[in-house]
Amino acid sequence: MLAESLGPDPLASGAKWKPSGKNIKDPGIHQRQRGGKYRREASSQRSCLLGLELKPELVWEDWDLGGEFTETLVLKNIHSKLQKLHVRPPLSKFFTLIPQIIVLSPGTSFSMPVSFRPVQRCEYEDSIEFQGKDGSFQVSLRATIPCHALEVPDSVLLPLCAVQNSTTTTFLLKNVSKLQTCFQWEFTAPFLLSPEQGLLKPGQECHITVLFQPQEALVYQQQANCKFGEEGDKADSCCIVLLQGLAKYPCLQLKNPGTMDEKEQCGKELHFGSVAVGQSLQKHFYIFNPSPVTASFSLSQLSSGAPLLGSVFSCDVPRGKVVPGGSLRAKVTYTPAVVDSVSVEYLSLKCRGALNETLIKLTGNCVGPNVSLSSSVVDFGCVEEGGAVVQTVELVNSSPVEALYQWDLDCSGNSVFSIQPASGTVCPHSHTTLRAVYRPTQPIAHHRRVACLILHRDPMFLDLIGTCHSELQQPAILKPEHLVLYKLHWYRRQDLPDTPSDMQQDHNVPLDQKGALCPVEEANC
């Protein structure tokens, strides 16, 4: 579309801006644009009058006050005989030429300069009359006022956009006049035009960016007005561009049938199962966009469900965009740190502009090593002074997690008891054999309860007992039953609910039919 501003009419009382141009949706404006085009083409086309080829009019378009501007009228005799013309000069004093009689032989041309001297800014019209033997004709002289004119499209269609998102497009604004033209856009939300104002030199182009930011799912159709003209407050001409846009609500879905279970159609659950402490397990899901618009989303943890010690779940996609019909893979990693803990957290999938919010439930439990001793008591029996006895005990790991252990015992020779190896690792679902050594130095009964420290587990305890005899001293031999009786009396003093059956389970202590402890001598029979 071409928008123009015409100068003041010398016959009118004041100056007016008259916009005109081309718009295929408006037949009236289209016709005005076609008329202007016809006039410009007519001034450049040549006509044949009385056997002479010449322009039917001379037009001055680029002029200013205080100067003299010359156009040349060329006459060519295309007749087969001699032509003799009398020239009547223009009636006004603004157009001047040298009056003369023109004689043209067949096939020859004659150039006649015509000068224009304006004294005020208005339109001028006059004519030159040529009188020949066969008649007369006139050539129009016309000086038009230089006017501001911009070329803009009739309408601009924005790409389909999601609610509370944005799309952009550009169109060309061109100054088709020979004047320096300033412009100023007037528009309303949800459309934004940039640059909003500017100054264009003659023939200069400018790319206008249109930003579409809808807040509701509607069909938008608004006019953007562009005022243009001279700098300052004189820019009172206007052209119109119709801005059109369509907004739709975005929608995102979670898809992964292998790992996602829908719960009551209100959310999703990603279950990691049992994971060893210190290990990591990764699972993924897909964010699918079934809507016709690009959807922007964010994945964040619900603040109300975040643990105090930090989250054990992490997601590699905190935010992103999904094109229509496309999908994006998101990966969640579960790294538990506390044995026997059950972790439940929620991820919130928020899609900007969508009507709902999707929650993803993340669950998992942490398992640690499950370690046991083949026996809770090692009985070295009776050992002569200066001798040594070696017994073995197995440390069994029945879990899928490796177990790190360390015995709380000085194995450097300062104790009569030692265990080798004093520390180490037990692989998952395996066992290791420990060597327990009793090396007494004095004839007495020895007992020591040693703690076995297990990483991520409660400690275990192993009772080591043995008796040392010499030639002169032979103390009573300490047996496992004595430990049970000792513990029984101790628990009774503490008023704890342990029963003799618990003692029997721990140390294989014999009980009679009434549940009472059997005497040591009777048990050995």
Cα separation, 199 vs 215, whole angstroms: 32
Quote the distance between the C-alpha of residue 496 and its chain's center.
63
Which is nearest to 114 in space by CA: 59, 70, 60, 63? 70
3-state secondary structure 300-348: EECHHHCCCCCCCEEECCCEEEECCCCEEEEEEEECCCCCCCEEEEEEE
Which of 210-224, 313-327, 490-504 shows the lowest mean pLDDT across its residues?
490-504
Q: What is the mean pLDDT of the chain?
A: 82
Structure tokens at 127: 């004519």
pLDDT digits (tens, 9 = 90+) for 491-516: 888 765 555 555 555 555 555 444 44
Find out whether 467 and 478 touch, Cβ atoms under 8 Å.
Answer: yes
The larger pLDDT score, comparing residue 440 to residue 100, is at 440
Confidence of residue 521 (pLDDT cuts 50, 70, 90): very low
Find out whether 268 and 285 touch, Cβ atoms under 8 Å.
Answer: yes
DSSP letter for 478, please.
P
**CATH architecture of the domain with residue range 150-248:** Sandwich (2.60)
Longest CA pairwise span in the chain (Å) = 171
CATH class of 259-367: mainly beta
Quote the distance between the C-alpha of residue 388 and its chain's center.
73
Instruction: Reply yes or no on whether the pLDDT at 301 is more than 60.
Output: yes
Structure tokens at 48: 């044949």
Structure tokens at 118: 């304006």
Q: What angle do CA 293, 297, 301 make, to 5 degrees?
A: 160
pLDDT digits (tens, 9 = 90+) for 379-410: 999 999 889 999 999 999 998 889 999 999 88
CATH class of 371-478: mainly beta
Instruction: Reply yes or no on whether the pLDDT at 459 is more than 50.
Output: yes
CA–CA distances in Å: residue 424 to residues 317, 404, 431, 438: 40, 6, 11, 21
CB hemisphere CA count around 333 (13 angstroms):
9
Structure tokens at 161: 């956009």
Domain boundaries, the chain: 2-143, 150-248, 259-367, 371-478, 485-525
C-beta atoms surrounding 64 within 10 Å: 9
DSSP letter for 221, please.
E
Written as one letter, the residue type at 297 is: F
Q: What angle do CA 178, 60, 228 make, to 5 degrees?
A: 30
Residue 7: per-residue pLDDT:
42
Instruction: Reply yes or no on whether the pLDDT at 156 is more than 60.
Output: yes
Residue 304: per-residue pLDDT:
65
CATH number of 2-143: 2.60.40.10
**150-248 has the same fold as 2-143:** yes
Find out whether 190 and 167 touch, Cβ atoms under 8 Å.
Answer: no
Structure tokens at 431: 């066992």
Q: Structure pTM?
A: 0.58
Cα separation, 195 vs 428, whole angstroms: 69
Tokens 């005020």, located at residue: 120
Residue 405: per-residue pLDDT:
94
C-beta atoms surrounding 386 within 10 Å: 10
Find out whether 235 and 227 touch, Cβ atoms under 8 Å.
Answer: yes
Find out whether 184 and 235 touch, Cβ atoms under 8 Å.
Answer: yes
pLDDT digits (tens, 9 = 90+) for 337-355: 888 889 999 988 999 888 8
Residue 525: per-residue pLDDT:
30
Report the C-alpha dihedral over residues 409, 413, 415, 420, rounded to 10 degrees.
Answer: 40
Residue 400: per-residue pLDDT:
87
Residue 19: per-residue pLDDT:
35
Q: Is 515 exposed, middle or buried, given 0-12, 13-18 or 19+ CB atoms closer than 10 A?
A: exposed
Residue 220: per-residue pLDDT:
96
Confidence of residue 266 (pLDDT cuts 50, 70, 90): very low
SS3 155: strand
Cα separation, 247 vs 30, whole angstroms: 32
CA–CA distances in Å: residue 86 to residues 75, 99, 132, 206: 13, 8, 6, 51
Cα separation, 219 vs 238, whole angstroms: 25
Residue 444: per-residue pLDDT:
93
Which of 184-193, 253-262, 300-309 shows the lowest mean pLDDT across its residues?
253-262
The larger pLDDT score, comparing residue 393 to residue 98, is at 393
* Beta-strand runs (E) in 23-165: 47-49, 52-54, 57-60, 69-77, 83-88, 95-96, 101-104, 109-116, 124-132, 135-143, 149-151, 155-157, 161-162
Phi, psi of 97 (to 5 degrees): -155, 170
Find out whether 374 and 391 touch, Cβ atoms under 8 Å.
Answer: no
Residue 9: per-residue pLDDT:
38
Find out whether 185 and 196 touch, Cβ atoms under 8 Å.
Answer: yes
Instruction: Reply yes or no on whether the pLDDT at 359 is more than 60.
Output: yes
DSSP letter for 511, please.
B
Confidence of residue 265 (pLDDT cuts 50, 70, 90): very low
Find out whether 118 and 97 touch, Cβ atoms under 8 Å.
Answer: no
Cα separation, 431 vs 36, whole angstroms: 101
Which is nearest to 210 in space by CA: 154, 149, 159? 159
